[in-house]
């Protein structure tokens, strides 16, 4: 657990005492419902030690000891989460330090047990506006299985390798001149993702696959492998604007009129195509968007192709 408003709360006086006592446990979750403090989960807070014998405003079940120390390279944010990929900043004391030395959630390996979070949460409003009743629009949504690597690169290019608003981020100071993914690295990462989804059995089927795609990008781009935070830059960039539910098909329709040469004998089909003289032709591209889960046709577009 981590509370993203740690220092905003750190120096607030106790509302019950009002005598200069500071610090309190912000995040407390009762996991058993029995009132036993051993069954409560306490957030990792940026706070001073708060003796429950001195601060009468603390819940009576709050233990009188400090939270476990955070790893030295942990990036403690001092702001709201802005997309589901940033859940990767959450501290997880049960995480494997060999996979994530910073003890954060794992959005950077294909075998991650935390990656389903990417598929279940979103920060985009999905319901119509209560006043105008206009549905919320999501701009820039990209299918994770796109074959257009520059499209992915344009999204990755703006990702932060290291959060500039975290508390005392080493080595500091901020802002740093090169905290964004470079254009060269973004193009390489985008191509790595295309290669991964184009491989046999490699298509992304949901947003949880972003963790696997992040692993493919990190393996291709050394600059993305310098830290856990940098490794998860791909997840932060793609998790909210990527989707795999819509499958896009394009049907190339060519309609021809003409005649067969004299002496052509049946059957008048493709076996005699070399004897067909084209006198007129129309070509169309039919684009179809399908819902991967239900097979429902979500939209169609017919485009006439004019060849110069």
Digitized pLDDT (tens) for each residue of the chain, 308 residues in all = 444 444 444 444 544 554 554 444 445 556 666 666 556 555 544 444 455 555 555 555 555 444 456 676 677 776 777 888 988 888 777 788 888 888 888 999 999 999 998 888 776 655 666 677 766 666 668 889 988 899 899 999 989 998 887 765 555 556 677 889 999 999 999 999 999 999 999 999 888 999 999 999 999 999 999 989 999 999 999 988 888 878 778 888 888 888 888 888 787 777 777 888 888 888 898 888 888 778 888 888 888 887 66
3-class DSSP assignment, residue 308: coil
- Residue 1 falls within a domain, yes or no? yes
In this structure, are residues 239 and 209 in contact, taking their beta carbons and an 8 Å threshold?
Answer: no
Whether 92 and 218 map to the same domain: the answer is: yes
Two tokens at 209? 């696959």
The whole-number pLDDT of residue 66 equals 44
Instruction: Tell me if 244 sits within 8 A of 144, measured CB to CB.
Output: yes
The verdict on 151 and 184 lying in the same domain is: yes
Is residue 154 domain-shared with residue 279, that is, in the same domain?
Answer: no
Number of domains, the chain: 3
Query: Per the domain annotation, does 10 fall within a domain?
Result: yes
Farthest CA pair distance, the chain: 107
Q: Which residues contact 196 (CB under 8 A, 6 or more apart)?
A: 202, 212, 213, 216
What's the pLDDT score for residue 23? 47
- Is the dihedral angle over the CA atoms 73, 78, 43, 87 positive or is it negative? negative
Dist CA 92 CA 6 (whole Å): 17
Q: Is residue 221 part of a domain?
A: yes
In this structure, is residue 286 part of a structural domain? yes
Residues 292 and 184 in one domain: no
| Mode of pairing for the β-strands spanning 276-291 and 246-260 | antiparallel
Q: Are residues 224 and 146 in the same domain?
A: yes
Cα–Cα distance, 14 to 90 (Å, whole number): 27
- 67 with 44: CB under 8 angstroms? yes
Residue 79 lies in a domain: no
The pLDDT score that the predictor gives to residue 14 is: 47
CA pair distance 198, 144, nearest whole angstrom: 11
Examine the domain organization and report whether 230 and 126 are in the same domain: yes
Yes or no: say if 2 and 28 are a contact pair by the CB < 8 Å rule.
no
> Are 264 and 144 members of one domain?
no
Supply 60's token pair.
């009576």
Range(s) of the domain holding residue 94: 84-243
pLDDT for the residue numbered 42 = 53
The reply to whether 5 and 102 lie within a common domain is no
* Residues 125 and 213 grouped into a single domain: yes
The pair of structure tokens assigned to 243 is 């989707």
Domain boundary among 18, 42, 69: 69
Q: Residue 224 has what pLDDT? A: 94
**Same domain flag for 184 and 267:** no
Query: Is residue 299 a part of any domain in this protein?
Result: yes
Q: How many Cβ atoms are within 10 Å of 4's Cβ, its own excluded?
A: 17
Say whether both 157 and 21 belong to one domain: no
Sign of CA dihedral 250, 255, 261, 265: positive
Count Cβ atoms within 10 A of the Cβ of residue 266 and give its class: 0-12 exposed, 13-18 middle, 19 or more buried.
Answer: exposed
- For residue 74, tell me if it sits in a domain: no
């Amino acid at each position: 657990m981590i509370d993203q408003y740690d220092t905003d709360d750190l120096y607030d006086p106790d509302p019950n005492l009002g005598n200069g006592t500071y610090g309190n446990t912000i995040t407390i979750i009762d996991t058993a419902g029995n009132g036993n403090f051993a069954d409560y989960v306490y957030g990792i807070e940026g706070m001073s030690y708060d003796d429950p014998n001195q601060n009468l405003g603390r819940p009576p079940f709050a233990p009188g000891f400090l939270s476990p120390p955070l790893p030295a390279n942990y990036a403690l944010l001092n702001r709201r989460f802005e997309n589901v990929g940033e859940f990767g900043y959450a501290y997880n004391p049960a995480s494997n330090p060999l996979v994530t030395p910073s003890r954060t959630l794992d959005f950077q390996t294909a075998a991650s047990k935390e990656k389903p979070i990417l598929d279940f949460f979103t920060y985009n409003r999905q319901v119509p506006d209560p006043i105008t009743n206009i549905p919320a629009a999501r701009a820039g949504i990209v299918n994770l299985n796109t074959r257009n690597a520059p499209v992915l690169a344009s999204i990755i290019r703006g990702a932060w390798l290291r959060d500039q608003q975290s508390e005392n981020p080493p080595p500091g100071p901020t802002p740093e001149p090169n905290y964004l993914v470079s254009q060269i690295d973004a193009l390489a990462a985008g191509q790595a993702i295309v290669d991964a989804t184009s491989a046999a059995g490699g298509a992304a089927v949901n947003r949880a696959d972003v963790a696997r795609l992040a692993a493919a990008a990190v393996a291709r781009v050394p600059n993305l492998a310098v830290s856990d935070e940098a490794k998860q830059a791909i997840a932060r960039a793609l998790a909210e604007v990527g989707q795999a539910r819509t499958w896009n098909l394009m049907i190339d329709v060519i309609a021809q009129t003409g005649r067969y040469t004299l002496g052509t004998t049946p059957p008048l089909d493709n076996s005699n195509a070399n004897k067909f003289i084209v006198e007129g032709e129309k070509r169309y591209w039919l684009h179809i968007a399908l819902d991967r889960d239900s097979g429902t046709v979500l939209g169609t577009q017919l485009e006439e192709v004019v060849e110069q």
